[in-house]
A = this chain, B = another copy of it.
Amino acid sequence: MGRVLMKEVRSGGVGHSAAPLDDTDQVLLGLLAADARMANKALARAAGIAPSTCLNRVRLLRERGVIRGYHADIDPEAIGRPIQAFVSVRLRAGSRSRIRELTGRLAALPGVLNVYFLAGANDFQLHVACESPSALSNFVVDNLSASQDVALTETTLIFEHVAGRAQTRHTHPG
C-alpha cells in the first residue's frame, strides 16, 4: 500500500513516541512550567482549546515523557538548609566503572539536590544544600573524601541561585 502512517517524525527516543510538539503543546508546557497547579479550565482557556481537549493533550504530554512530573519548589532556606554548594568529584581511575553505584548512593543522601555526570576532568558534580558551613564540610569529608574511590573534590559555595526563564517558560523559536 502506498499509504504510510506519518506519526513519528523523530527517531531514537527511549520509549517515547516523538510526535513533534505543535504550538498548542508549547503553550501548555510553558504555562505548566510556570504554574503546575493551574486549573485545567484556565489552562484550556489560555491555550484556546476546550477543557476536555486540554486534559487529553496534557495527559499525552505526560505519557510521552515530555512532562516528567510536577514538583513543588521548596525554599531550602526555609527547611533549614541555607548553605548551597557545588562539589566536583574526580574518581580514581579504577573506580570509574562503579560511578553509577557511587552516585546513586550519593543522590539518595539528604541535602543532595542534583547529580550531574560531566565530560572533562571531573567525573561528576553534586549540588547540595546544607544546614551550615560545617555541615557542608562534614558532608564532603564523610561522604566523599573518606571514600577510597574518590581521587579529589572541589567545593564551590553558591551565593545565590536564580532560575532561568527556561525553567518556567518556553519560548517559541523566532
In angstroms, Cα B71 to Cα A149, docked, is 36
Q: A33 near B: Cβ within 8 Å?
A: yes
Q: With a CB–CB cut-off of 8 A, which chain B residues contact A16? A: 78
- Contact of A67 with B72 at beta-carbon distance under 8 Å, contacts A83-B6, A117-B159 already known: yes
In angstroms, Cα B160 to Cα A156, docked, is 20
In angstroms, Cα B79 to Cα A29, docked, is 10
What band does the interface of chain A fall in when counting residues whose beta carbon is under 8 Å from B? 35 or more
In the complex the two chains form, is A118's CB within 8 Å of B75's CB? no
- Contact of A165 with B35 at beta-carbon distance under 8 Å, contacts A67-B72, A118-B158 already known: no
In the complex the two chains form, is A72's CB within 8 Å of B75's CB? no
- Contact of A156 with B73 at beta-carbon distance under 8 Å, contacts A36-B36, A109-B165, A165-B112 already known: no
Question: Which A residues lie at the B interface, using CB under 8 A?
Answer: 5-6, 8-9, 13, 16, 18, 21, 26, 29, 32-37, 64-75, 77-80, 82-83, 86, 103, 106-120, 122, 125-127, 129, 131, 156-168, 170-171, 173
Beyond A66-B75, A86-B118, A114-B164, 7 additional contacts (C-beta under 8 Å) are: A9-B78, A29-B74, A32-B74, A64-B78, A115-B161, A115-B164, A119-B158
